[in-house]
Amino acid sequence: MAAATSGEICCSEAPAGGKRGHLGIPEAVFVEDVDSFMKQPGNETADVVLKKLDEQYQKYKFMELNLAQKKRRLKSQIPEIKQTLDILKYMQKKKESTNPMETRFLLADNLYCKASVPPTDKVCLWLGANVMLEYDIDEAQALLEKNLSTATRNLESLEEDLDFLRDQFTTTEVSILLEKNNFTLNTGTNFSHLSTDK
């Protein structure tokens, strides 16, 4: 966590010591000495400082929502890729056979249709955006294994980013509470007129 050394509340965006950045998530500034922090330019009143901190907190909330959506999407994609790889491995075994493969495929929601698939060394993969391409089974397997590896790596990275974001929430919340406590101690009034309660 960065200690506040200037009147700027926002954050520092440069990754420390060559570490991987966190998807552009700015690091929250921890206010160690509230009195000296309040004397800096741009921090005229407690209301101004709390407004800046609350604004940063809301940005973190928005980032959390976006990262959670990405995580859900990846968590649903990974099992689909694994299932498709299993099917390709099964087709690889059956391609030397002369017997057709009996299967069921999804026709509509909760509606499956029986199919008889002759031995083949070609498959079609949906790539997204209504694009389907034909591949040899080996090529399709290599592509899906690469996609699985990338999706798994991205999921791990998202987990790290979410952990980092949680730390920024905590830092911002502590800074807000320190500022409120400092104001209350110095003036004897509280912040019931502000809507920055977390």
**How would you write the pLDDT of the chain (198 residues) with one tens digit per residue?**
444 433 444 444 444 443 456 778 888 878 777 777 777 787 778 888 888 888 999 999 999 999 999 999 999 999 999 999 999 999 998 888 888 989 898 889 899 999 998 889 999 998 888 999 999 999 999 999 999 999 999 999 999 999 999 999 899 998 888 888 877 777 766 655 554 444
The per-residue pLDDT for 143 is 96
> What is the DSSP track for the chain?
-EEP-SS--SEE-SPGGGPPP-TTPPEEEE-S-HHHHHTSTT--SHHHHHHHHHHHHHHHHHHHHHHHHHHHHHHHHHHHHHHHHHHHHHHHHHTT-SSPEEEEEEEETTEEEEEEE---SEEEEEEETTEEEEEEHHHHHHHHHHHHHHHHHHHHHHHHHHHHHHHHHHHHHHHHHHHHHHHHHHHS---TT-----
What's the CA gap between 50 and 8, in Å, rounded? 12
What local confidence, expressed as pLDDT, does residue 191 receive?
Answer: 58
Residue-level pLDDT at 25: 86
The predicted structure's pLDDT at residue 17? 43
Q: How far apart are CA 192 and CA 29, in angstroms?
A: 24
Rounded CA-CA distance 196/52 in Å is 10
- What confidence score (pLDDT) does residue 193 get? 53
CATH numeric code, 2-187: 1.10.287.370
Answer for the pair 122, 135: CB distance below 8 angstroms, yes or no: yes
Domain ranges (residues) in the chain? 2-187
pLDDT at 35: 77
Q: Return the pLDDT at 16.
A: 44
Partnered with residue 11 across adjacent β-strands are: 28
How far is Cα 5 from Cα 36, in angstroms, rounded to an integer? 9
Q: What is the pLDDT of residue 21?
A: 64
Query: pLDDT at position 142, please?
Result: 96
